[in-house]
Amino acid sequence: MATEMREHTVQEPRDVPPDRQWSRDAVENRVFGILRWVVIAGLLLVTLFPFYYMGLLSIRALDEVILDPGALWVSLSELNFDTYTSVLSSPDSGGQGFLVFMRNSALVAFGTVALTLLVALPGAYAVSRLEFFGRRQVSALFLSVYLFPSILLAVPLFVAFTRIGQRGTLVGLLIVYVSQIVAVSIYMLRNYFDTIPVSLEESAALDGCGRLSIMWRISLPLAMPAIVANGLFVFMIAWNEFLFALLFLVEDRDKWTVSLGLSQLAGSIEIPTTVLMAGSVILTVPIIVIFFAAERLLTEGLTAGAEKG
Amino acid sequence: MSHIPVGGTGTASADAATPEPEPRDESRGKSRGPLTRSDARAGLTLISPTLVIVIFMVVLPILWTVMLAFRPLSLLNLATSGLFGTDFTLDNFRTVLTASGFGGSLLTTLVYSVLGTGSAIVLGLIAALAVRRTFPGRTFVRAAMLLPYVAPVVAATFVWRTMLDPQFGIINHWGTRLLGWDEPIAFLTQQSNPISLLGVEFSLPTALLSVIAFEAWRSFPFAFLFLTARLQAVPATLEEAARVDGATPLQRFRYVLLPQLLPTIAVLSILRFIWTFNSFDDIYLLTGGGAGTEVVSVRVFNYLTATGNIGLASAQALVLAAILAVLVGIYLKRFAPQEEKT
């Protein structure tokens, strides 16, 4: 941890002479020393509380929430997991059918990951390694796609997919996702390929490997961390996406993704908020698990090419 | 762009005159020869699937939007009228620009983007400075602060809506009890709220401020991440020299750290501004565009789905993109030379 070592050297000197105890420097040091912890505590509270509250409401009974909306914890006797069975079970048995939504989300998200990587890996390799005509223009094009507002793209894609009759299908949505993500994905992967020394590939070439075999045997295994990070990143985008899911799938409840399902049901007065909170937990937990499992990999990825939002 | 170590590999590749099928060498990328030609072919082959997807799913649709914007087209007559008609007209733009509420909506979008971007970056900067030095649990704190950014927007907006609910929301519950609010505040459904501060009466755009607060909460981690990375790259010697010279922490921030961070802040501002200006999900999910929070992207959506008027939706989307392009252009022109200096 080179950075942490460096940060230690910036530590303030402990032996302040008495006459300088109330100098501007000493006062500022003391104030910021305290302020720092206040800020950290405040930020943690603000970032974590909504998620805590989400989990809390999902395991409380609705009548108790209405009786005491300000409670910050739940007593063991109050614990209530019926919300989860209610939100997961199918509408026929009185539930909200989130199991079906989860299946849809998973299908779209895994499909997007597979297809994006399949397309982006060769592309990223080409942009990083091979000198071809128009390489620079292609990179510029991909960057502008990354900055492009999705609301502007929503109009023509909505119209076109309506016209060819593919608007209500998961496959249609999947294709839209891939087209939106593939440019960012190439950008992230290219950055990683750039860091792999060419000499490794050269020695493989000397040993008689062709270009494809070099890619397959040398570059891909070396790029594995980046590929995994990129896959997780794509999964998160596809799992979280809302606008296109809304435009494409809203008419058919059996096709809803978890995001779309929660947003549609959140408007209804008949469904208890606690049940919908259970739905929110179901929507959020996969993302939190992925994020904490691969935090280091992902933060590097996020800085390289952050979510379009 | 490619980081190719040229030195050292030369001799190895000079010996590569071997009967192997196709030994290629990137370090010779600039030279003209059969190897570069086959590399060029391989490069185009490998990039072409992406290129096809991007051209058919992004570039052409956008060009097509321009055509749609000049045609009287709705979802109802979509099946009968051709996809590429020539019945061009300026009516859509006229309608969109003179529609009631367009000016107000544009102003809302601007206020939302400027304040949302600004507060997210300030918050991100404060967070980055606070967790700069090591302490036990710093890794966890850093990860926790990224949660609002990675969490699904639908879940995050739903929790916020519940927390801010006037009847059983926890914010109003504690606000009325601890902070002495006279009555619960309808954060997301009230357009404005009269406030009296030090005897001055004025009204605050409640719902707009609430969605800006949400935007700050949701996107400050993005700024935090970038600024943290930049802070780590600031040479420790710079600050140490300033400290030896007697600079106080505030002075060190103002004269040593801030100049180092400014280019990053400039890039962050433009990225966040572009995204916030076009953002749809957050506001649509929080307020549905009601109570004075109707940004232009929500109007595009409503033209498209509620009225099914493709022509109007396209025209409105183009107007939004054009205004954004002008604003970004002005920004780049104004600030780009300064960035180069730092």
Q: Are B312 and B75 in contact (CB under 8 A)?
A: no
CA–CA distance, A98 with A87 (Å, rounded to integer): 6
Chain B residues with CB under 8 Å of A98 CB are none
Looking at residue A143, what is its pLDDT? 80
In a domain, B318, yes or no: no
Contact assignment for B78 to A159 by CB distance below 8 Å: yes
In a domain, B320, yes or no: no
Furthest CA-CA distance within chain B = 90
Looking at residue A62, what is its pLDDT? 84
B147-189 pLDDT per residue, tens: 999 999 999 999 999 999 888 888 988 888 888 788 888 888 8
- Identify the DSSP state of B168: T
Quick check: B189 contacting A, CB < 8 Å?
A: no
In a domain, B140, yes or no: yes
Contact assignment for B318 to A152 by CB distance below 8 Å: yes
Please compute the mean of the pLDDT values over residues A148-159 and round it to a whole number. Answer: 88
The HSE-up count of residue A60 (CA atoms within 13 Å, CB side) is 22
Confidence of residue A45 (pLDDT cuts 50, 70, 90): very high
CA distance, residue A270 to nearest chain B CA (Å): 15
Contact assignment for A303 to B226 by CB distance below 8 Å: yes
Chain B residues with CB under 8 Å of A194 CB are 1-3
Q: Is the pLDDT of residue A157 over 60?
A: yes
Closest Cα to residue A109, out of A296, A258, A224?
A258
Please compute the mean of the pLDDT values over residues B124-136 and round it to a whole number. Answer: 92
The nearest alpha carbon in chain A to B165 belongs to A69
Element (H, E) at B202: strand B200-204
The nearest alpha carbon in chain A to B241 belongs to A10
Q: What percent of chain B has pLDDT over 90?
A: 43
Q: Coil, helix or strand for B119?
A: helix
Looking at residue A15, what is its pLDDT? 56
Q: Is the pLDDT of residue A302 over 70?
A: no
Least confident of A155-164, A194-203, B6-15, B85-94: B6-15
- Identify the DSSP state of B197: E
Please compute the mean of the pLDDT values over residues B266-277 and round it to a whole number. Answer: 92
3-state SS string for A43-108: HHHHHHHHHHHHHHHHCCCHHHHHHCCCCCCCCHHHCCCHHHHHHHCCHHHCCCCHHHHHHHHHHH
Looking at residue B82, what is its pLDDT? 64
Q: Coil, helix or strand for A5?
A: helix
Least confident of A21-35, A111-125, A134-148: A134-148
Looking at residue A140, what is its pLDDT? 84
CA–CA distance, A35 with B129 (Å, rounded to integer): 11
Q: Are B99 and B302 in contact (CB under 8 A)?
A: no
- Tokens coding B60: 């052409």
Quick check: B301 contacting A, CB < 8 Å?
A: yes
Q: Is the pLDDT of residue B19 over 60?
A: no
In a domain, B227, yes or no: yes
The nearest alpha carbon in chain A to B173 belongs to A70
In a domain, B211, yes or no: yes
Which of B1, B4, B53 is most worth mutating to test chain A (most A CB atoms within 10 A of its CB)? B53
Q: Is the pLDDT of residue A16 over 70?
A: no
φ and ψ at B202, to 5 degrees? -155, 165
Partner residue facing A43 (CB), from B145, B177, B246: B145
In a domain, B291, yes or no: yes
Q: What percent of chain A has pLDDT over 70?
A: 89
Measured in Å, how far apart are chain A's first and last C-alpha atoms?
A: 32
Q: Is the pLDDT of residue B15 over 50?
A: no
Which comes out higher in pLDDT, residue A150 or B160?
B160
Looking at residue A204, what is its pLDDT? 81
Confidence of residue A6 (pLDDT cuts 50, 70, 90): very low
Residue B193 β-bridge partners? B204
- Number of residues that this document lists for chain B: 342
Closest Cα to residue A234, out of A103, A118, A99?
A118
Q: Is the pLDDT of residue A308 over 80?
A: no
B238-268 pLDDT per residue, tens: 889 998 988 888 899 999 999 999 999 998 9
Partner residue facing B65 (CB), from A39, A128, A152: A152
**Which residues 303-332 of B have a C-beta within 8 angstroms of A?**
304-305, 310, 313-314, 317-318, 320-321, 324
Chain B residues with CB under 8 Å of A207 CB are 20
Residue B271's domain comprises: 100-306
Element (H, E) at B194: strand B193-197
Quick check: B243 contacting A, CB < 8 Å?
A: yes
Looking at residue B79, what is its pLDDT? 67
Contact assignment for A126 to B217 by CB distance below 8 Å: no
Q: What percent of chain A has pLDDT over 90?
A: 38
CA–CA distance, B337 with B342 (Å, rounded to integer): 9
Contact assignment for A153 to B58 by CB distance below 8 Å: yes
Please compute the mean of the pLDDT values over residues B310-336 and round it to a whole number. Answer: 89
A238-261 pLDDT per residue, tens: 999 999 999 999 998 999 999 999
In a domain, B272, yes or no: yes
Mean pLDDT (chain A) is 84
Q: Is the pLDDT of residue B223 over 90?
A: yes
Name every residue whose Cβ is closer than 8 Å to that of residue B259 and which is 6 or more positions away in sequence. Answer: B342
User: A91-304: which CATH topology?
Assistant: MetI-like fold (1.10.3720)
Partner residue facing B217 (CB), from A46, A119, A160: A46
- Identify the DSSP state of A12: P
Residue A276: CB atoms within 10 A of its CB come to: 25
Confidence of residue A148 (pLDDT cuts 50, 70, 90): confident
Element (H, E) at B112: helix B102-130
The nearest alpha carbon in chain B to A138 belongs to B51
The nearest alpha carbon in chain B to A30 belongs to B249
Confidence of residue A19 (pLDDT cuts 50, 70, 90): low
Please compute the mean of the pLDDT values over residues A59-75 and round it to a whole number. Answer: 83
Q: Tokens 């001055």: give the residue.
A: B200
Name every residue whose Cβ is closer than 8 Å to that of residue B311 and which is 6 or more positions away in sequence. Answer: B68, B69, B70, B71, B72, B73, B74, B91, B92
Measured in Å, how far apart are chain B's first and last C-alpha atoms?
A: 22
- Number of residues that this document lists for chain A: 309
Least confident of A12-16, A127-131, A295-299: A12-16
This model of the complex carries an ipTM of: 0.86
The nearest alpha carbon in chain B to A153 belongs to B62
CA–CA distance, B39 with B20 (Å, rounded to integer): 16
Output the domain CATH number for residue B174: 1.10.3720.10
Domain boundaries, chain A: 20-80, 91-304
In a domain, B213, yes or no: yes
A184-216 pLDDT per residue, tens: 899 888 888 888 888 888 888 888 877 778 888
Residue A37 sits at the vertex; the CA angle it makes with B135 and A52, to the nearest 5 degrees, is 90
Mean pLDDT (chain B) is 83
- Tokens coding A287: 């993302």
A vs B: CB pairs below 8 A: 339
Looking at residue B324, what is its pLDDT? 92
- Tokens coding B43: 């490069």
Q: How far is CA A54 from CA A65, A144, B160, B216, in A?
A: 12, 37, 9, 20
Closest Cα to residue A244, out of A308, A182, A174, A307?
A174
φ and ψ at A73, to 5 degrees? -150, 175
Cα A73 to the center of its chain, rounded Å: 28
Looking at residue A17, what is its pLDDT? 56
**Which residues 41-60 of B have a C-beta within 8 angstroms of A?**
41-47, 49-51, 53-54, 56-59
Partner residue facing A7 (CB), from B133, B146, B301: B133
Q: Is the pLDDT of residue A20 over 70?
A: no
How many folded domains does chain B comprise? 1
Quick check: B174 contacting A, CB < 8 Å?
A: yes
CA–CA distance, B29 with B337 (Å, rounded to integer): 33
Confidence of residue B326 (pLDDT cuts 50, 70, 90): very high
